[in-house]
Amino acid sequence: MDDRKGIAGGIRITYIGGGSRNWARKLMIDLALEGQMSGKLVLYDIDADAAQDNASIGNRISAMEEAVGKWSYEVADTLPKALEGSDFVIISILPGTFDEMEVDVHAPEKYGIYQSVGDTVGPGGLMRALRTIPMYAEFARQIERYCPEAWVINYTNPMTLCTRTLYEVFPGIKAFGCCHEVFSAEEELSALLEVFAGIKSVERTEIEINVKGINHFTWIDRASYQSINLMDLYSEAAERYSRDGFIADAEGKGSRQRGKWRWPKPVHFHMYERYGLVPAAGARHMVEFMPLAWYLKDHDPKWGFGLTTVAERREGQARQLAETKQIVRGETPIRLQQSPEEGVRIIKGLVGLGSFVTNMNLPNQGQIPGIPHGAVVETNAVISLNRVQPVMTGELPVPLQNIALRHVLNQETILQAALLGDYELGFQAFLNDPLVAIGEQQARTLYEEMLQGTKAYLPGLSGKFAIQGV
């Protein structure tokens, strides 16, 4: 803390994945707009040039007159140099390249297995996990050595397994996963207040919810604004909008625009009608946790969500790269507009500048009964000075708990397969995923092809799956 009351200075943040074209810039702008903190942010990335571009942008942002939070930005050429003495570590990486993701997402389509995202569960999520877990194991070892007291904030998917790996390798780590999917659900509830109760301009943070589940398979069973029960409003909306989704009326009221669809989507209301809980993650993520035949086999547009292709992701990355270069060359001005992310707010709370409640991914300490102790779950947590305290949420309804448990136990299997290099064990998890609705021999053929597609990131093999060149 510096000499001014209520001001935290001299904070050191390490950003692993500091060459990010998207998340890093949001963080730097959010830091500039927060006047109660200052310090140094050290960027580390295997693409050192990309990290240097972000350092240049960050220092320019900090020099802007409207930047009330002053930070210096530099690039470290090794991970130990980046980590040493840090108070916070942010991890936001792309595990592998879009070449590997191309196989993750599109190879299963030859067998009728479609994935709307392919980064959390399903065959794509599993393969992404196999190459990501060894990376996170190394991050955990280095954090334990160079900054064991640092708070670690993970943004990378698969969120659950990234966070779980950090704790498996360094049990004393202070880590949690942050996901913004729940924020959209809060915004939807705010929109319902306007449409059904005539109450406008309610910020999502003013809405109180009880969140429970695992990342990207999260649910709300209680929601309120002041004395208004928002579950009742959601039920009314489901009855009215279950066929077309929540669409703005003639006066423009309604949920936020998300691409060409509006939220909640028909599939959200369908899930609500089945389980009685509000889905708290995007439709593209939620459907991947459920049996293939329910929503993804025919990827029927009536459900209101589409499939994100890797080609679209490549195009998005190219646009972000071009924008970054334009900013570095001074051709595009930098606009200081706060992002909806909560990373800076969380850091502010942890250094003692206010407490609040938000959703977090943390090891289960009993906050969700019926889920194994130590498995990473998503619930609310209270953020305060050097403390993250999970909120006890209660059990999931049995039908949802059955689905969640299947994935929790599968994720534990994947964790061990990746740490041991046992790809036969990994195949057992592959077979057990509800999207892999094909015969065992077909599954083996697909699994082998997908292993080949990500072999550059696999540290070793055992069992029956031998990869040439490894």
Q: How far apart are CA 272 and CA 287, in angstroms?
A: 13
Which burial class, exposed, middle or buried, applies to 191 when counting CB atoms under 10 A from its CB (0-12, 13-18, 19+)? buried
| Domain shared by 91 and 106, yes or no | no
Cα separation, 260 vs 214, whole angstroms: 27
Residue 467 lies in a domain: no
Structural domain of 238 = 101-113+178-462
Q: Are residues 35 and 68 in the same domain?
A: yes
Domain harbouring 168, CATH code: 3.90.1820.10
Domain boundary among 154, 177, 200: 177
Give domain status of residue 145, yes or no: yes
Annotation marks residue 299 as catalytic: no
Close Cβ partners of 240 (under 8 Å, ≥ 6 residues apart): none
Q: What pLDDT shows up at residue 1?
A: 42
Domain-located, residue 3: no
- 470 within domain boundaries: no
Asked if residue 108 and residue 87 are part of one domain, the reply reads no
CA–CA gap between residue 301 and residue 279 (Å, rounded): 19
Does one domain contain both 403 and 263? yes
Residue 235 burial (CB count, 10 A): 16
My answer on whether 133 and 258 are in the same domain is no
Q: Are 128 and 99 a contacting pair, CB within 8 Å?
A: no
C-alpha–C-alpha distance, residues 450 and 437, integer Å:
16
Number of Cβ within a 10 Å radius of residue 103? 21
Same domain, 313 and 397: yes
Question: Which of 162, 177, 192 delimits the end of a domain?
Answer: 177
Q: What 3 state SS string does 263-306 have?
A: CCCHHHHHHHHHHCCEECCCHHHHHHHCCHHHHCCCCCHHHCCC
DSSP notation for 61-117? HHHSTT--S-EEEEE-SSHHHHHTT-SEEEE---SS-HHHHHHHHHGGGGGT---SS
Q: For the chain, how many structural domains are there in total?
A: 2
Let me know whether 183 and 81 are in one domain: no
- Picking from 230, 259, 258, 264, the residue whose alpha carbon sits closest to that of residue 244 is 264
Which one of 177, 198, 220 terminates a domain? 177
Considering the domain boundaries, does residue 469 fall inside one? no
Q: Within its chain, how far is the Cα of 321 from the centroid?
A: 21
DSSP class of residue 204 equals G
- Interatomic CA distance for residues 450 and 466, integer angstroms: 13
Global pTM value:
0.94
Domain membership of residue 243 (yes or no) is yes
Given this model, what pLDDT does residue 257 score? 42
Same domain, 334 and 278: yes
Residue 2 lies in a domain: no
Same domain, 386 and 323: yes
How would you write the pLDDT of the chain (470 residues) with one tens digit per residue? 444 456 788 999 999 999 998 889 999 999 999 999 999 999 999 999 999 999 999 999 999 999 999 999 999 999 999 999 999 999 999 999 999 999 999 999 999 999 999 999 999 999 999 999 999 999 999 999 999 999 999 999 999 999 999 999 999 999 999 999 999 999 999 988 988 899 988 999 999 999 999 999 999 999 999 999 999 999 999 998 888 887 644 344 444 443 333 668 999 999 999 999 999 999 999 999 999 999 999 889 999 999 999 999 999 999 999 999 999 999 999 999 999 999 999 999 999 999 999 999 999 999 999 999 999 999 999 999 999 999 999 999 999 999 999 999 999 999 999 999 999 999 999 999 999 999 999 999 999 999 999 999 997 765 566 544 33
Mark whether 236 and 150 lie in a shared domain. Answer: no
Active-site residue, from 180, 285, 299, 407 = 180
Q: Are residues 157 and 266 in the same domain?
A: no
Whole-number pLDDT of residue 136: 98
- Same domain for 37 and 186? no
In a domain, residue 468? The reply is no
